[in-house]
Amino acid sequence: MIHHLSIDLETYSSVSLRDAGALRYIASPDFEILLFAYTLDDNPGQIIDLASGETVPDWLISMLFNPDYLKHAYNAPFEFGCLSKYYGQLIPSQWRCTMFHGLYCGYTPGLEATGRVLGLPEDKQKLNTGKALIRYFCVPCKPTKSNGQRTRNYPRHDPEKWTLFKEYCLQDVVTEMEIGKKLLSFPVPDFVQKQWETDLMINTRGVAVDMSFVEGALEVGATMKAELMAEATELTNLNNPNSVKQTVAWLNKESEVEVTNLKKETVTEMLSNDTNGPKVQRVLEIRQELGKTSTKKYDAIEICVCPDGRVRGLLQFYGANRTGRWAGRLVQVQNLPRTYTDPIDLARNLVRRKQTAAIKAVYGNVSDTLSQLIRTAFVASSGNVLIDADFSAIEARVISWLAGQEWRLEVFRTHGKIYEASASQMFHVPIERIKKGNPEYSLRARGKVAELALGYQGGVGAMRRMDTGHQLGDLDDTEIQNIVDSWRSTNSKIRDLWYELNDAAIQVIQNGGSRTVKCLTLSREYDYSQGTQCMTILLPSGRKLFYINPSLGENQWGSPSILYMGMDQTSKKWKQLETYGGKLVENCVQAIARDALAEAIEHLEAAGFPIVFHIHDEVVIDIKPFAENEQMLKAVTDIMTTPIPWAPDLPLGADGWVGDFFTKD
């Protein structure tokens, strides 16, 4: 018989949990568990006051290792890490994360917010005083004369607050248990639970960082910033040339153009103004360079690196709960700049030796060089190499496969040049002509913009937003619309998929039941015991996407619009959101691409390739060399491109490199 043990801990560490991440927080020598709250099955909650000298009974410790007891916690990796430090390495397969379960079902990541959205009674939601109590007992305090210069608050310093804190902790474990009950009707599939367990081990494993390089980058960045600030002060005579208000006032006095802000795009536009005097031009250049001198990612590495020189917890499983993709945390590896610096080894050595002048002499822009090199702070462990491999054009492949757009599938089965092939189809030019040296090669750039902008029902606006390289030239909206129309015509099955999915969603919301579009099944699902409902999309992998409390509205063109409750990505508030066919296709394509990566991760781990982190469609493996580089890379890409059981005819491609440090050009 399986029993359910729900756990909530309150802890102390001098390390910032928010800035350094859970695993660095737990690794601190002064880390300790203060309170251990638990419920066993449906029994009343209990709390163990470790900070006051109580101990966890042996029978409860044994449950932590007993497979007959499933351990539940909200954000379970935290409790898993804490208890592993105290009692020895626990077993991931025995744990269930209620926060992840909520995210899987389309809810929010916060315990209090999720409880509110799920309609938990007020007495089962977090106490409003909780954050203040955490600040009082769980983090260092500022030494003052009134508190006797102490740097930490113990239970004895305020017994009443401590009693309230224990109630708060007990409330949390009850809330976690109640949320778990609310979600029972929509279980997490076993294979997705297994992916969570694998992710837990990857995050715990972490990735090695070159701290001498990071320290060098921080010093070089500080030196460069000081030099730029000194030059700006000399040019402007301002007290603080980094102040937007002061610099805007100075520019309005010195230039012929009225300035209202110093946003990146404003400074770029002003730099192209021929009427700028040399002083104004240089101040703008400094402003632009100061925008690149930020060493925030190097700072983040320094803050979150563990005592053994590894950074852990870089990934949030199901961080993008609309698609189930991973989200970046701490250093945000998912949005690191590309690396064009050459020669790269020399640049890294100069940074490590803190030779700012030499970097400037060889590479010109020091700030840009540091920005490009941030990837290379992640390195292979001693005696190991990194194997980096990524899926080629995975979203383009998935949308072609999902829609059944045969000419595109043939491209991916053969040469894989989708930008050239797309341009060939749209502009009726033989693909052989679209190559470097021929005038027709310029069409490739337009094909690329169209591919990136139009797959999810984008139009002229999407084309312009995606045209970051100004490949569209001086085309007006009518001419761009012609490209849009041509792309849609040559990709008619993708175009039809938008409308088919839109119509199916409307029918399901309006009439209930299920509708199947290609290999996707849309359903209206109810949990009568909890009074909740959702629209789900069953993916070919067997995973579902959830749209909570769906309804129909009217869009700006007077047609039915699809509405649901979700987390607004801008405001981070739970509110009614609107979607449409193209956006649903995007959700499904990205979700299927995510499932392909998850499948590859499981196979790579099983084959003995330890992954240290991954980014959307790319995996990074830290391993001892066992063959020539080409053979090692081929072993990885062969696994990644093995036909997927639930999509055997999806043409996969992968490529990569083997090296000592992480990079991308």
The fourth-level CATH superfamily of domain 3-184 is: Ribonuclease H-like superfamily/Ribonuclease H (3.30.420.10)
> Residue 552 and residue 295: Cα distance in Å, rounded?
47
Instruction: Give pLDDT tens digits for 250-298.
Output: 888 887 778 888 888 888 888 887 778 888 888 888 888 877 656 889 9
Of 57-61, 405-409, 430-434, the poorest mean pLDDT is in 430-434
**192-230 pLDDT per residue, tens:** 999 999 999 999 999 999 999 999 999 999 998 888 889
Q: What is the pTM of this model?
A: 0.92
Ranges assigned E (strand) in 449-508: none
d(CA 219, CA 470): 36
Q: Which residues of 514-527 are buried (b: 16+ CB within 10 A; e: fewer)?
A: ebebebbbbbbbee
How far apart CA 38 and CA 275 sit, in angstroms, is 70
CA nearest neighbour of 389 among 49, 581, 664: 664
Annotated domain spans of the chain = 3-184, 206-379, 384-393+513-665, 406-490
Going by DSSP bridges, is the β-strand pair 514-517/32-40 parallel, antiparallel, or unpaired? unpaired
Q: pLDDT (tens digit, 9 = 90+) per residue, 355-386?
A: 999 999 999 889 889 999 999 999 999 999 99
Q: d(Cα 614, Cα 341) in Å, to the nearest integer?
A: 23
Compute the distance between CA of residue 369 and CA of residue 34 in angstroms, rounded to an integer. Answer: 45
pLDDT surpassing 80 at residue 469:
no
d(CA 595, CA 600): 9
Residues 6+ apart with CB under 8 A from 518: 402, 403, 404, 497, 500
Q: So what CATH class is 384-393+513-665?
A: alpha beta
Q: Is residue 125 over pLDDT 60?
A: no
**Residue 554, SS3?**
strand
458: its two tokens: 């984008």
Q: How far is CA 183 from CA 98, 114, 352, 523, 653, in A?
A: 9, 11, 51, 17, 37
Work out the percent of the chain whose per-residue pLDDT is above 90: 74
